[in-house]
Amino acid sequence: MKAKYLLLFAASLLLIGPSPSLSAPVQVAIESSQLANNGNQVYQQVNPAVVTVFAGREIGSGSIVSTDGLVITNNHVIRGSQNGYVFVRTTAGTRYPGRVIATDVRKDLALIQLDTQETLPAVRLASRSVQPGDSVYAIGSPYGRPGVMTTGSFSRVRENGDLQSQVILRPGNSGGPLLNNQGEMVGVNKAILDSRRGNTGISFATSIEATKAFIEANRPGRVAVAPPSYTPRSNPVPTPLPNLPVHQPIEQASDRSIRRQPTNDVVIQEPTYSSGLPSSVPSNGRLGVIMDTRTLVIREVENGSIAANSGLQAGDQLLEINGNPLSGFQDVLQFMSSPPRYAQFTISRQGQPTTVAIRF
């Protein structure tokens, strides 16, 4: 079993570029009517204060926790930032630049100050701990798509103080809020427990107690005070892992370093992000897909895009372009930097190779 962070590769998202179609809030269906009512209330209340965080080549989620623009997220979300500078985007599409003002590697937390004079909506921080069996909600930007909510239940407090819940998270959810029925933040989502069979639905979050202490110690104008050290007895928390890849569900990859620690069944894997896209992509070069930068598997196809019109589907894996085998995502980048009017993509679909004609 592996604990994975929930980070998303910005490079894969930028294959389709900033697109209004990706800004529409999406909610996961909730079964019972009572839970649906609670979920709708939580979503409407909190979603305006949840942002997508862009830090270099990585994408995660975050929560605005003060009306003057303080944002809490994971440390592993902002590690790729240039000199601490990032930007965030709300589900309404408003973009704000920001700067990282504090980090805590052990708790996997980071505090961002947005550069704005606006009064912003903020997530309320819970005053009491969540209890086992309580309903919990997660809002974030899985696969770079903002405003997605999933629901589940809280399981337990782990020995290291982290929260364990039964709620499905995806790559891009890292740094987003874990919420109670009142729409209050009870934790900061950061990792999932992953098995060879895929996402187990078990997720981990930094507790609200640790989060509030970190925020208060590092507010602008305050002297930062490091939290007391803590050494767990066993089964250590999945620390600084790239949020996904809890970021997003990724299988084995050669560009990922693996750090093993003595533990019962948790292996922490920490991907490195070396793939990126040019700062600008020609308009005729927008293929219109979200792609796993390690496996070259298409995760999502934009409606009406070149990819959709050419017949590419989610789940297709790119193998060759114009008969040239692809050794990695950099080959895709190189091709897309100056695409011809016509190309042939060889893909694997349901285990069978096939050729798709692409017209740009």
> Annotated catalytic sites, by residue?
76, 108, 174
Half-sphere exposure of 41 (CA within 13 A, CB side): 12
Question: 62 CB contacts (<8 Å, ≥6 apart)?
Answer: 50, 51, 52, 53, 71, 72, 73, 77, 88, 112, 175, 176
Do 333 and 304 form a contact (C-beta atoms < 8 A)? no
Q: Pick from 143, 167, 187: which is nearest to 30 by CA?
A: 167
Token pair recorded at residue 319: 């193998």
Tokens at residue 354, please?
């096939």
**DSSP string across 73-137:** E-HHHHTT-BTTEEEEEETT--EEEEEEEEEETTTTEEEEEE---S----PEEPSS---TT-EEE
Alpha carbon distances (Å) from 159 to 41, 132, 191, 218, 236: 32, 15, 16, 25, 8
CB 28 within 8 A of CB 138: no
